[in-house]
């Protein structure tokens, strides 16, 4: 199949990127188009945070040596391009003469290198913001032409701009969702919740006014059902709007744990003073974790540690419940876990979940501030 011209390829990638609304599918699709439409045969993308921690977020057609053991050689250790990126020395598309990751993989699996020994790299950026690195390689190639590097820079610029656009759009959507949830919470509290409470009081009064046992029993049932509905409504309002968040996230979480009848232990290191969007999302993440403990953990004890230092928020959530195998397809409340992952991604954070049957669940999150 004939390869498209460079201009046609850049146009194809730009058209794809402009309609994508999800960061990871956008990167994977753009990278796939680049590899299929150029002389490059493999490519991969790292996200890199301010501390230099990097994460392999996308890859296409990696040689066997690099894809072994869940891309072990791509994810472990350090390399020149990541260090140069972190030290602000990597500002444009460059040839990498000696890549420690490729070298280690090639030594371990020499017969599965597909002839890849060197790669080119370029930072993903939008304005002054940098998000990570785009790397590409071709078999038996140690040096990439200026034309190749220029095309790589063009694609990296498109991807970086799209990352920024999607993040900003997601933040706007989340702000709108928060506003709408707050409105719904107010409406439910001011209307439905008050009506249910009135029904409860009326049933209680009516029971005391009649001596006919059948009627008294009916009024008792109405009162009890109304109280259950009030409790359910209160929990729903908590889900929609974190009542008490204005007094701090710790206070709000303790109040919510009381609603769930959980024994929450909170430890704090540093002054927890968060931007409103981070605070709201952090609350929702911990709320989701507590909901999972309540529904699936078969325990009432949850431990929470919040650390705010060096422009990072670190969150540890742990329960001693029955746990689950996170690799199984039927993970309990996988929708809730997906929500947690999405919120962490939106805050440009890192998430680690550890759980096994009968060994509890541990959640570790790091969010830049």
Residue 272 has pLDDT above 90, yes or no: no
Q: At which of 171, 203, 227 does a domain end? A: 171
Q: Are residues 143 and 257 in the same domain?
A: no
- Two tokens, residue 270: 């540093």
Average pLDDT over residues 227-256: 77
Q: Are residues 19 and 151 in the same domain?
A: yes
Q: Are residues 160 and 265 in the same domain?
A: no
Q: Are residues 257 and 348 in the same domain?
A: yes
Residue 246 has pLDDT above 90, yes or no: no
pLDDT in tens, 179-224: 777 777 777 777 777 788 888 888 888 888 888 888 888 888 888 8
Average pLDDT over residues 40-61: 84
Average pLDDT over residues 7-15: 90
Q: Are residues 156 and 253 in the same domain?
A: no
Per-residue pLDDT, 298: 83
Confidence of residue 227 (pLDDT cuts 50, 70, 90): confident
The count of domains in the chain is 2
Q: Are residues 120 and 26 in the same domain?
A: yes
Q: Has residue 106 been placed in a domain?
A: yes
Q: Are residues 127 and 275 in the same domain?
A: no
User: Percentage of residues in the chain with pLDDT exceeding 90?
Assistant: 24
pLDDT in tens, 18-30: 888 888 899 999 9
pLDDT in tens, 70-114: 788 787 767 778 778 877 888 888 887 778 888 888 888 888 888
Average pLDDT over residues 271-295: 87
Residue 289 has pLDDT above 60, yes or no: yes
Q: Are residues 17 and 130 in the same domain?
A: yes
In which domain, by residue range, is 297 found? 246-369
Q: Domain of 39: which CATH number?
A: 3.30.450.40
Q: Has residue 362 been placed in a domain?
A: yes
Return d(Cα 37, Cα 13) in angstroms, integer.
10
Return d(Cα 364, Cα 351) in angstroms, integer.
6
Q: Are residues 160 and 273 in the same domain?
A: no
Per-residue pLDDT, 329: 46
Q: Are residues 23 and 116 in the same domain?
A: yes
Q: How far apart are the first and last CA of the chain?
A: 48
Q: Has residue 78 been placed in a domain?
A: yes
Higher pLDDT, 320 or 189: 320
Per-residue pLDDT, 70: 79
Average pLDDT over residues 233-252: 73
Q: Are residues 45 and 144 in the same domain?
A: yes
Which one, of 272, 303, 264, lies nearest residue 367 by Cα? 272
Per-residue pLDDT, 251: 87
Q: At which of 139, 154, 171 does a domain end? A: 171
Q: Are residues 150 and 25 in the same domain?
A: yes
Q: At which of 137, 171, 205 does a domain end? A: 171
Q: Has residue 195 been placed in a domain?
A: no
Q: Domain of 353: which CATH number?
A: 3.30.565.10
Confidence of residue 42 (pLDDT cuts 50, 70, 90): very high
Q: Has residue 239 been placed in a domain?
A: no
pLDDT in tens, 73-83: 787 767 778 77
Return d(Cα 269, Cα 313) in angstroms, integer.
10
Helices in the chain by DSSP H: which ranges?
6-19, 23-37, 64-75, 80-86, 100-108, 146-187, 194-209, 213-240, 249-260, 276-292, 334-346
pLDDT in tens, 133-161: 999 999 988 888 899 999 999 999 999 99
Q: List strands edge to edge, sheet with 54-60.
A: 54-60, 42-48, 129-137, 119-126, 94-96
Q: Has residue 210 been placed in a domain?
A: no
Average pLDDT over residues 173-178: 75
Is 202:183 a contact under the CB 8 Å cutoff?
A: no
């Amino acid at each position: 199949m004939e390869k498209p011209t460079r201009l046609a390829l850049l146009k194809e990638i730009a058209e794809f990127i402009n309609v994508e609304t999800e960061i990871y599918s956008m990167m994977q699709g753009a990278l796939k188009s680049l590899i299929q439409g150029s002389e490059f045969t493999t490519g991969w993308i790292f996200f890199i945070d301010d501390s230099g921690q990097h994460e392999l977020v996308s890859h296409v057609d990696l040689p066997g040596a690099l894809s072994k053991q869940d891309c072990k050689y791509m994810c472990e250790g350090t390399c020149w391009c990541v260090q140069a990126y972190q030290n602000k020395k990597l500002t444009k598309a460059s040839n990498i003469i000696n890549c420690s990751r490729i070298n280690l993989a090639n030594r371990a699996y020499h017969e599965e290198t597909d002839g890849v020994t060197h790669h080119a790299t370029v930072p993903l950026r939008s304005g002054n913001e940098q998000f990570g690195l785009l790397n590409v390689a071709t078999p038996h190639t140690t040096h990439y032409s200026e034309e190749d590097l220029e095309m790589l820079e063009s694609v990296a610029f498109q991807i970086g701009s799209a990352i920024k656009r999607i993040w900003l759009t997601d933040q706007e959507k989340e702000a709108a969702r928060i506003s709408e949830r707050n409105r719904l919470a107010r409406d439910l509290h001011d209307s439905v919740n008050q009506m249910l409470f009135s029904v409860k009081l009326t049933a209680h009064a009516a029971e005391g006014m009649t001596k006919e046992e059948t009627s008294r029993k009916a009024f008792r049932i109405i009162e009890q059902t109304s109280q259950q509905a009030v409790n359910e409504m209160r929990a729903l309002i908590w889900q929609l709007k974190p009542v008490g968040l204005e007094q701090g996230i710790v206070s709000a979480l303790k109040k919510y744990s009381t609603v769930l009848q959980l024994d929450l232990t909170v430890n704090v290191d540093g002054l927890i003073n968060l931007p409103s969007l981070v605070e709201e999302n952090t609350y929702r993440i911990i709320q989701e974790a507590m909901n999972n403990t309540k529904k699936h953990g078969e325990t009432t004890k949850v431990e929470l540690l919040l650390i705010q230092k060096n422009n990072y928020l670190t969150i540890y959530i742990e329960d001693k419940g029955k746990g689950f195998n996170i690799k199984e397809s039927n993970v309990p409340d996988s929708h809730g876990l997906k929500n947690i992952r999405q919120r962490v991604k939106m805050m440009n954070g890192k998430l680690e979940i550890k759980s096994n049957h009968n060994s509890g669940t541990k959640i570790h999150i790091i969010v830049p501030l």
